[in-house]
A and B are shown apart, each in its own frame.
Chain A
């Protein structure tokens, strides 16, 4: 393994997290991660060492997701009741409560338009700066902050009633 490959392996948990925001289904999300990694390695010449690897790979993932979403009809965003039962199955009460809280947040995220969801994911979940997030999305910073603002307002309104 060379250095880039090692750094990508280290980044896998974060890539999986961002993918999970985009594709809620775990297998779909991991497929997206795999596609992202493969594309990144194919285009490794485009990566400038010393720049932030996560920004570069998030951008590849964003583009891969857009390509994929266009190419196929996406799976239903809402889990079936069966799957829901599995998710909260054998856990204890505290874990179940945590899981339900996470689900409320995920549901609210899923209701956002995709551009807002991505902006929220990059800044509020991944902790990127406005500048970095705008670079990942390949939009001006003003566009990023406006998407972020609308997404955030919608989430606040949506999650108000379900505050834990």
Chain B
């Protein structure tokens, strides 16, 4: 990688100040995305500002209605947290499927959201749960946060501090893994709160998005039957040598149906996701 300077600020304020002082500096959290990027020489930041240990970014706590996870929470922490398991178990399930055990020991919620990889898992949860992203400057609603491929509403030097997830009365996540990278070729997060249903899809498009037609149908009738003959338009879906746009659209449809089936008490459900293919 290109030469750079590593700094480890003691506080969040110090970190923000460093980023403001050095416009070519980048924040470094777990590094699971940034380090490989630097190794490929795809970026040349002047400084790497290590925020991984900052106290202000740690912590998982819950109130009656909200689960709050610090931006510095590692995926492994979220996956094994009793607080998350008791409030939004779909998040434990999601976190436990990100990448692999070693990556989960380093990668963080904040890092994942700041990067907004179109095939990352967390964006689907944040969008479907209608979470609020709290930064060093403001609070951003999920619907406003994801702007485009690898693009978010964050301003230069703005750091995610924590994410507040409304505690849905039921939620679920189902993902189909790319056979090589392990990223989501399609990942579907469904959250039900009161009468509201939100369906967020990652991996299939240029960024996470809500499937509004599916939401409308499921609001009326939360069942697999409600989704009959509903197809996701493949225009705008990602295509590459591994999978055509219409295959990705199909995966998103299938996962949505299967997740609804799993979340419907008493009905026939799909099996949990398995490696190298996705739902059995």
Tell whether A pairs with B.
Answer: no
Residues of A within 8 A of B (CB): none
Residues of B within 8 A of A (CB): none
